[in-house]
Structure 1
Amino acid sequence: MDEGSGLNIMYAKTLDEMGVDWMNLYPIQAPFHGVMPGKQAMLMGQIDLLVTFEDQSNYRTKTLTFDMVGFPRTFHAILGCPCYAKFMAIPSYTYLKLKMLGPREVITVYTSFWCVYECEVKCCGHAVVVVAFGELTTLREEVTKEAPDTKKSIGSFKSVEGSKEVLMDPSSPKGKKVRIGTTLSSK
């Protein structure tokens, strides 16, 4: 259940495990945001699937459109506002329940706090990996841009105007020198 989601999301692995033919997917070229902070994701396509809540004595079935994504999953699917509207369902995030009217009585779908905790831990782990990978890629690009030109020889350093050479250690026989600016204050 995701109260803020404007999408019903299903993961590619879930579709495979259900044995649904990928030919039923219809293409869509739209990015969406909010799955990973600051990142956008591209949909693999959309699929219409029958969704049933409850059992044979008291059930509701509707066709829902799911947006397919190909990244690692922590859930089987995410039901968003389109699902709640179609089933006229009311989610309770405090009690982890989803309630809707059935033909005989109220249908209640629930989960445990432990299941939610395990999913959140996995989700945070995936988010950290994705964000870290993005940051690493950015760092690599920056380092490549700032990398020194290997074709220049080491002795090709040219000093700016207003600098002079000074012996690092006047008592040393090697006479190593350093170049310092002449416009620096005495401090």
Structure 2
Amino acid sequence: MDNGSSLNILYIDTLDAMRLPRLELRPTGSPFHGVIPGAHAYPLGQIDLPVTFGSRANFRSEVLTFKVVDFLGSYHAILGRPCYMRFMAIPNYTYLKLKMSGPNDIITVSSAFSHAFTCDREHFELASVVVNSSELLRLGESSAPAAPDCNQPTSSSAFRPLEETKTVGINPTNPTKIVRIGTQLPAK
């Protein structure tokens, strides 16, 4: 469950384990961000798959679109906001529960804290390996802009206001807490 993710992700190893042919992937040209630090991630494609929650007596099935990625992950898939919207599900991360309405009653998907801890530890170890890899360093150098050197003085044109400003103190007990306000602002 990842309430912060704006897409559903399926790892290529999971697709292969499901014995689904890669020819079923539809092309997608849009990259996404936040998975590989400092770089864009390009999916191999996307695929629509049926997803079912519940038991035989009370279940819901919906077809979800997954972006298929070709990099290591400690999970089989990541269910993001599109999944929750389609199922109208509510995740509760404190209790490790996912709840949604079913045809006969509320469907509750649960996990054990020990299992969640094991998954988090595996994910952390995998992320540490990826972050420390030389491949990521090379990728970061080629795609990320160089950070400015804090010891170098900035040019005289950097961060210059377009108009005159007035300095106003915002804390009478601490004169270093100030804010600059433009003097040409409209009265409104």
Aligned to 1:64: 64
- Kindly indicate whether the alpha-carbon contact (under 8 Å) linking 1:36 and 1:127 is maintained by their aligned counterparts in 2: no
Aligned to 1:40: 40
Shift of 1:30: 1.9
Task: From the superposition, tell whether residues 139 and 40 of structure 1 become closer, same or farther in structure 2 (CA, over 3 Å).
Answer: closer
| Aligned equivalents of 1:47, 1:140: Cα separation in 2 | 32
- Kindly indicate whether the alpha-carbon contact (under 8 Å) linking 2:39 and 2:139 is maintained by their aligned counterparts in 1: no
| Aligned equivalents of 2:139, 2:64: Cα separation in 1 | 38
TM-score for the superposition, normalised by structure 1: 0.70
In structure 2, runs of 5+ residues without a counterpart are: 143-188
- Kindly indicate whether the alpha-carbon contact (under 8 Å) linking 1:32 and 1:40 is maintained by their aligned counterparts in 2: yes
Secondary structure of 2:37's aligned partner: coil
Residue 137 of structure 1 pairs with residue 165 of structure 2:
no
Aligned to 1:89: 89
Runs of 4+ that moved beyond 4 A: 138-141
| Aligned equivalents of 1:99, 1:63: Cα separation in 2 | 18
**Counterpart AA for 2:89:** A
- Kindly indicate whether the alpha-carbon contact (under 8 Å) linking 2:38 and 2:140 is maintained by their aligned counterparts in 1: no
| Larger radius of gyration between Structure 1 and Structure 2 | 1
- Percent identity (aligned): 50
In structure 1, runs of 5+ residues without a counterpart are: 142-187
Report how many residues are paired: 141
Shift of 1:136: 4.7
Write the deviation string for residues 90-143 of structure 1: whole angstroms up to 9, x where unpaired: 0000001100000000000111112221221222222222222246537999xx
TM-score for the superposition, normalised by structure 2: 0.69
**Counterpart AA for 2:88:** M
Task: From the superposition, tell whether residues 138 and 30 of structure 1 become closer, same or farther in structure 2 (CA, over 3 Å).
Answer: closer
More helix by share: 1
Task: From the superposition, tell whether residues 102 and 70 of structure 1 become closer, same or farther in structure 2 (CA, over 3 Å).
Answer: same
Aligned to 1:147: none
Question: In angstroms, what is the RMSD of aligned CA positions?
Answer: 2.0
Aligned to 2:100: 100
Aligned to 1:5: 5
Write the deviation string for residues 137-163 of structure 1: whole angstroms up to 9, x where unpaired: 37999xxxxxxxxxxxxxxxxxxxxxx
| Aligned equivalents of 1:89, 1:23: Cα separation in 2 | 31
